[in-house]
């Protein structure tokens, strides 16, 4: 059963993810065409959160595969349980079974360890599979992933072909450290996530920190938007905004206007390099603060 | 996965709508989108679905389906409006360079070159500093005009070097690339000796020993190939060499699996995508058109700053060699150049600076820019002819 776009929007809001309309459309389309969704955007705009929210919307399990340089099939697909295999071989040593029979036994399902990709296609109900930062994995892995995403079956030499029990909803994220192949891009639907606008960021703060003052949430969102326009090395993401809002709320501040000192002190929540910290001097902070509060 | 889409997707979709959709796919393809049959078929099934009942929902739906990159994403709305609402149809025709129009092929290439300018990061840079946006838009227009005029009267850059030389440059670039790769690419293999035990294979191998690991299998880490980033100075003072190096860039992009190329004069342009064209002549033409026609000064420092800020994170890592091809005549501030070189040096493995002037007799790096950059350069070498490039080979192989 497919949800309509409105239902997806509503449920995203219920689980605390403030989505724009286009994202809801992309998520609907994902289910309609049964295609994976490729999310791109700057670090910290909430790409991974989308997958978590999607899992919550469909009340499905979230299976996450974090990609890294050198990720191989052993870590992504399956592995044999070597300790148990060794024990099994030892246990059968005395029984006089021949090597072929032992081999057949120890390379059976019982000794197979599922890794994320295999787990994702062997669940009775379709889970959400998050392939995080796929651009960090090597090209070889990308090609392998492409094969899995088109056929949803894997072959394990010792066992044979394993077909998908259910087709997972696949979300891929990329930070653009490497150009992804055309083939993978074409396989996927595409959505570019930008930093949220002030209004949406304020709503995100309110959704995540329900106890916070509405004024404070709006001011923090405006100030972060202004900070993002400064020439920074690392632009603060939504997570940083949330940290900062929580910090300010925790210091019992209800209105930024009267607290330039504490605003400047707590900037460490959003500025994560020495150079950025040095760039946003007290004068700059005061100027930005003057504009938003 | 498309299997799962309704088997008769165009049921209930009128012939007129079908035709319009096919036309839209074609328009997108003309504009450089990667739209295949599968996408068109999926679009049909969307049109047949309840989602099509509300036209406002159609745009985000088709955008998610047809876009594959950020630049697609940013251009989609404009093309969508132009096609479905008839607004700005002429603009789209111009972009697509419909062959029926009576234009010279060069002119179309010039426009294709403009269109292929990197849309991603530099644009982003302009959004951030609002005041720069207008200025750069104006510059953009001016340059478009300039390159059109010049492309019609300028001599074809292909003829500056004769065909035999072209072939040699290509062969050389490929050879350099191979020399580096042969040393650096080693797939992870099961080996007699290594750093880690390959348990999977060890077990397999030792079943006949009752599981006692007599015969060990090892794994060794894969050594990934070096990544090469080339920054080519295309300013007026380099114009004699630009054609030659554009060829070289094409060879590099062709031979390296991980190579990125940039051209700079007063600003920086990412040109890898244009160079990946299979048609060598067209790719080089396109790039030459982009690179030429800039008689103004070079701002090496500023271009490097753009690179450091918007491209370095994506293209540079600890196994990246950066090759800057420039004569070092910088009209910007040497202090900025030095600062950006220092920043770049921290990120990458090696900086190679190729300077065509070194080949000239009695040359010493007196230019202020060159002086400022020297302390951060690992290899400062001549590059005025094929022999000098060939001499780099042993060095590159050692990196």
Q: Look over chain A and give the mean of its residue pLDDT values, rounded to a whole number.
A: 88
Q: Which residue of B has its CA nearest to A95?
A: B210
From A260's Cα to the closest Cα of chain B, the distance in A is: 25
In this complex, which of A80, A138, A189 lies closest to B65 when CB atoms are compared? A189
Q: Helices B37-47 and A21-33, interaxial angle, to 10°?
A: 110
What contacts A96, CB < 8 A, 6 or more positions away? none
Task: Write the DSSP assignment of A54-111 as a string of letters.
Answer: HHHHTT--EEEEE--TT--HHHHTEEE-HHHHHHHHHHHGGGT--HHHHHHHHTSGGG
- DSSP for residue A233: S
pLDDT of residue A120: 93
For the beta sheet containing B196-197, the strands, ordered from the edge strand earlier in sequence to the opposite edge, are B190-191, B218-219, B196-197
Per residue of chain B (399 residues), give pLDDT as tens. 444 444 444 556 678 888 888 888 888 888 878 888 888 888 888 888 876 777 778 888 888 899 888 888 888 888 888 888 764 444 333 333 333 333 333 333 334 333 333 333 333 333 333 333 344 433 443 333 333 323 222 233 333 456 666 666 667 666 766 665 554 444 444 555 666 777 777 777 777 776 677 777 777 665 566 788 889 888 777 776 776 777 778 777 777 767 888 888 777 888 887 777 666 667 767 776 665 555 556 788 888 888 888 888 778 877 788 989 888 888 788 888 888 898 888 888 889 898 877 766 667 777 788 888 888 888 888 777 666 776 777 776 666
Q: Which residue of B has its CA nearest to A87?
A: B211
Instruction: Evaluate whether A8 touches A28 at the Cβ level (below 8 Å).
Output: yes
CATH code matching the domain that covers B157-179+224-398, chosen among 3.40.1410.10, 3.40.50.410, 1.25.40.10, 3.40.50.720: 3.40.50.410
Chain A residues with CB-CB distance to B67 below 8 A: 190, 192
> In this predicted model, what pLDDT tens digit does every residue of A227-277 receive, in sequence order?
998 878 788 999 999 999 999 999 988 888 888 888 888 999 999 888 888
Task: Answer whether B73 sits within 8 Å of A192, measured CB to CB.
Answer: yes
* B164 in A contact zone (CB under 8 Å): no
Instruction: Evaluate whether A234 touches A272 at the Cβ level (below 8 Å).
Output: yes
* B207 in A contact zone (CB under 8 Å): yes
Tokens of B193: 């000796």
Pairing status of strand B259-264 against strand B268-270: antiparallel
Chain A residues with CB-CB distance to B38 below 8 A: 186
Does residue B269 come out as left (phi exceeding 0), alpha (psi in the -120 to 50 range) or beta? beta
A169 — pLDDT class (breaks 50, 70, 90): very high
Task: Answer whether B64 sits within 8 Å of A191, measured CB to CB.
Answer: yes
CA distance A138 to B188: 12
Task: Answer whether A106 sits within 8 Å of B51, measured CB to CB.
Answer: no
In this complex, which of A25, A37, A93 lies closest to B60 when CB atoms are compared? A25
CB-count burial class (<10 Å; 0-12, 13-18, 19+) for B138? exposed
Chain A residues with CB-CB distance to B53 below 8 A: none
Task: Answer whether A186 sits within 8 Å of B203, measured CB to CB.
Answer: no
CA distance A240 to A45: 10
Chain A residues with CB-CB distance to B210 below 8 A: 89-90, 93
Task: Answer whether B199 sits within 8 Å of A82, measured CB to CB.
Answer: yes
- Domains of chain B by residue range: 2-95, 157-179+224-398, 187-219
* B342 in A contact zone (CB under 8 Å): no
Q: Identify the three-state secondary structure at position A168.
A: coil
pLDDT of residue A225: 93
CA distance A64 to A173: 11
pLDDT of residue B174: 67
> In this predicted model, what pLDDT tens digit does every residue of A129-151 receive, in sequence order?
999 999 888 878 888 898 888 88
Task: Supply angle C-alpha B338, B342, B346, rounded to 5.
Answer: 170
From A90's Cα to the closest Cα of chain B, the distance in A is: 6
CA distance A55 to A120: 13
Chain A residues with CB-CB distance to B50 below 8 A: 4
Task: Answer whether B60 sits within 8 Å of A190, measured CB to CB.
Answer: no
Q: Does position A280 have pLDDT exceeding 80, yes or no?
A: yes
* B63 in A contact zone (CB under 8 Å): yes
What's the predicted TM-score (pTM) here? 0.66
Task: Answer whether A90 sits within 8 Å of B210, measured CB to CB.
Answer: yes
Q: Averaged over A113-139, what is the pLDDT?
A: 91
Task: Supply angle C-alpha B184, B186, B188, rounded to 5.
Answer: 145
CB-count burial class (<10 Å; 0-12, 13-18, 19+) for B192? exposed
From B59's Cα to the closest Cα of chain A, the distance in A is: 9
Instruction: Evaluate whether B83 touches B26 at the Cβ level (below 8 Å).
Output: no
Task: Supply angle C-alpha A41, A46, A49, rounded to 5.
Answer: 130
The residue among B284 and A22 whose pLDDT is bigger is A22
Helical ranges in chain B per DSSP H: 15-30, 37-47, 55-66, 70-85, 89-96, 105-115, 121-128, 130-153, 163-184, 199-205, 239-255, 272-275, 280-291, 300-306, 312-315, 334-347, 368-373, 386-390, 393-398
Chain A residues with CB-CB distance to B258 below 8 A: 178
In this complex, which of B46, B61, B207 lies closest to A99 when CB atoms are compared? B207
From A191's Cα to the closest Cα of chain B, the distance in A is: 6
Which sign, positive or negative, has the C-alpha torsion A66, A70, A76, A80? Answer: negative
Task: Answer whether B65 sits within 8 Å of A29, measured CB to CB.
Answer: yes
Q: Which residue of A has its CA nearest to B7?
A: A33
Instruction: Evaluate whether B246 touches B284 at the Cβ level (below 8 Å).
Output: yes
CA–CA distances in Å: residue B7 to residues A287, B4, B48: 61, 8, 11
In this complex, which of B50, B57, B68 lies closest to A25 when CB atoms are compared? B57
Q: Averaged over A22-41, what is the pLDDT?
A: 91
CA–CA distances in Å: residue B356 to residues B238, B252, B331, B364, B384: 8, 18, 18, 12, 4
Q: Identify the three-state secondary structure at position A191.
A: strand
Q: Does position A100 have pLDDT exceeding 70, yes or no?
A: yes
Task: Answer whether A85 sits within 8 Å of B2, measured CB to CB.
Answer: no
pLDDT of residue A220: 93
* B126 in A contact zone (CB under 8 Å): no
Beta partners for residue A189, in sequence order: A37
Task: Answer whether B314 sits within 8 Å of A177, measured CB to CB.
Answer: yes
CB-count burial class (<10 Å; 0-12, 13-18, 19+) for B387? exposed
CA–CA distances in Å: residue B241 to residues B150, B365, B386: 18, 18, 12
Chain A residues with CB-CB distance to B199 below 8 A: 80, 82
């Amino acid at each position: 059963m497919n949800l309509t776009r409105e239902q997806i929007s509503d449920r995203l809001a219920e689980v605390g993810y403030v989505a724009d309309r286009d994202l809801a459309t992309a998520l609907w389309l994902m289910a309609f065409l049964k295609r994976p969704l490729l999310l791109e955007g700057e670090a910290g705009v909430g790409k991974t959160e989308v997958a978590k929210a999607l899992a919550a919307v469909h009340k499905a399990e979230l299976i996450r595969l974090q990609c890294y340089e050198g990720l191989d099939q052993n870590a992504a697909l399956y592995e044999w349980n070597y300790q148990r295999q060794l024990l099994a071989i030892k246990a059968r040593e005395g029984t006089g079974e021949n090597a072929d029979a032992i081999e057949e036994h120890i390379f059976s399902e019982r000794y197979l360890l599922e890794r994320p990709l295999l787990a994702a296609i062997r669940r009775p109900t379709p889970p959400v599979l998050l392939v995080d930062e796929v651009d960090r994995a090597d090209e070889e892995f990308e090609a392998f992933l492409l094969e899995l995403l088109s056929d949803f079956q894997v072959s394990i030499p010792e066992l044979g072909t394993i077909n998908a029990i259910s087709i997972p909803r696949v979300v891929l994220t990329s930070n653009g450290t490497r150009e992804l192949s055309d083939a993978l891009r074409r396989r996927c639907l595409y959505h570019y996530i930008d930093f949220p606008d002030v209004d949406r960021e304020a709503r995100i703060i309110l959704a995540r920190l329900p106890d916070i003052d509405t004024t404070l949430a709006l001011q923090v969102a405006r100030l972060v938007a202004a900070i993002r326009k400064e020439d920074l090395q690392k632009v603060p993401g939504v997570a940083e905004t949330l940290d900062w809002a929580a910090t300010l709320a925790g210091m019992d501040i209800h209105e930024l206007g009267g607290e330039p000192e504490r605003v400047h002190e707590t900037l460490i929540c959003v500025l994560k390099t020495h150079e950025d910290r040095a760039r946003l001097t007290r004068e700059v902070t005061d100027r930005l603060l003057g504009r938003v509060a | 996965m498309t299997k799962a889409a309704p088997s008769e997707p165009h049921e209930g979709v009128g012939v007129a709508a079908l035709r319009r959709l096919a036309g839209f796919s074609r328009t997108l393809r003309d504009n450089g989108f990667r739209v295949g049959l599968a996408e068109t078929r999926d679009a049909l099934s969307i049109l047949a679905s309840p989602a099509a009942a509300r036209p406002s929902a159609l745009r985000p739906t088709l955008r998610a389906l047809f876009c594959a990159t950020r630049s697609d994403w940013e251009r989609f709305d404009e093309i969508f409006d132009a096609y479905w609402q008839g607004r700005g149809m002429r603009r789209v025709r111009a972009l697509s360079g419909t062959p029926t129009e009576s234009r010279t092929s060069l002119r179309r290439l010039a426009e294709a070159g403009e269109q292929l300018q990197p849309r991603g990061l530099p644009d982003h840079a302009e959004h951030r500093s609002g005041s720069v946006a207008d200025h750069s838009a104006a510059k953009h227009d001016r340059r478009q005009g300039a390159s059109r005029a010049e492309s019609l009267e300028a001599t074809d850059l292909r003829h500056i070097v004769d065909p035999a030389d072209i072939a040699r440059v290509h062969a050389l670039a490929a050879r350099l690339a191979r020399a580096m790769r042969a040393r650096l690419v080693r797939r992870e293999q099961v080996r007699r000796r290594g750093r880690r035990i390959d348990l999977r294979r060890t077990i397999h191998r030792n079943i006949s020993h009752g599981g006692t690991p007599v015969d060990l299998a090892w794994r060794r880490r894969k050594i990934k190939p070096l990544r090469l980033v080339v920054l080519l100075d295309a300013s007026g003072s380099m114009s004699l060499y630009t054609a030659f190096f554009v060829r070289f860039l094409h060879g590099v992009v062709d031979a390296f699996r991980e190579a990125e190329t940039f051209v700079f004069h007063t600003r920086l342009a990412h040109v890898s995508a244009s160079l990946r064209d299979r048609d060598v002549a067209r790719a080089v033409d396109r790039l030459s058109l982009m690179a030429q026609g800039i008689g103004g000064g070079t701002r090496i420092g500023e271009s490097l700053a753009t690179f450091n800020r918007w491209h370095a994170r994506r293209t540079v890592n600890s196994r990246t060699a950066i090759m800057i091809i420039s004569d070092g005549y910088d009209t910007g501030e040497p202090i900025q150049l030095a600062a950006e070189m220092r920043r770049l040096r921290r990120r990458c493995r090696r900086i190679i600076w190729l300077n065509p002037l070194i080949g000239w007799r009695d040359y010493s790096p007196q230019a202020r820019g060159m002086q400022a950059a020297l302390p951060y350069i690992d290899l400062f070498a001549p590059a005025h002819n094929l022999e000098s490039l060939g001499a780099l080979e042993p060095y590159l192989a050692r990196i």
